[in-house]
Amino acid sequence: MPTSYTPPSERLWWNEPIERTEILWIVIAFAWCLFMFYYMIAWHWTGKQNLANEAYKITPEAYGKKVQAMVEQYTVRKETEQNIPVVRPPAGSDVYLAGSLWQWRPLLELEKGKSYRLHVSSLDWMHGFSLQPENINLQVLPGYEMVITVTPNKTGTNTVMCNEYCGIGHHTMLGKIYVK
């Protein structure tokens, strides 16, 4: 009997007959591969896990100006010891959120049941946008503006976290979206 230490008696091993159980396992493995392949394609279209988003190239400076213009126009109060502005934009408007070492600015106050176009970008490094408890995740890169349409469906406070390690203050990079 050949082992891994001794060569087979027949050098042309591919001419040997295949055992019935081996054929069964090959058929099962192939069928499972086909099932998973088509299931992933179907889930992409029927599952609700894929965000319909857009991405645009923009310089960090130009994006910072958009954020600042929104802050100046819609600020309703300032919060936390860092005096971070809280903005309340009108329903249906474009809302800008900027990530930079180590904060999300500004804090947002949105209305339940109203849609907003949320623009997210980074002003310095790669960051991750993770909206909890809704489990919306985006990779945020400087030079790119990610746009998603959001419609808050319950009141409360949502936390925005960075889920890409961005340096020593990464664990403090939190923001808030208040839904009224």
Backbone angles phi, psi at 31, to 5 degrees: -60, -40
pLDDT band at 134 (very low <50, low <70, confident <90, very high): confident
Query: pLDDT, tens digit, for every residue of 63-94?
Result: 999 999 999 999 888 887 778 899 999 998 99
Kindly list the structural domains of the chain, giving each domain's residue range(s) and its CATH number in brackets, ordered by start: 53-179 (2.60.40.420)
pLDDT at 82: 77
CA-angle at 158, arms to 175 and 121, nearest 5° = 45
Backbone angles phi, psi at 71, to 5 degrees: -60, -45
pLDDT at 8: 65
For the residues 142-152, what does the mean pLDDT come to?
A: 90
Residue 125 above 60 pLDDT? yes
pLDDT at 55: 87
Task: Say if CB 146 and CB 55 are below 8 A apart.
Answer: yes
The number of CA neighbours under 13 Å toward the Cβ of 83 is 0
Identity of the residue numbered 27: V
pTM over 0.85: no
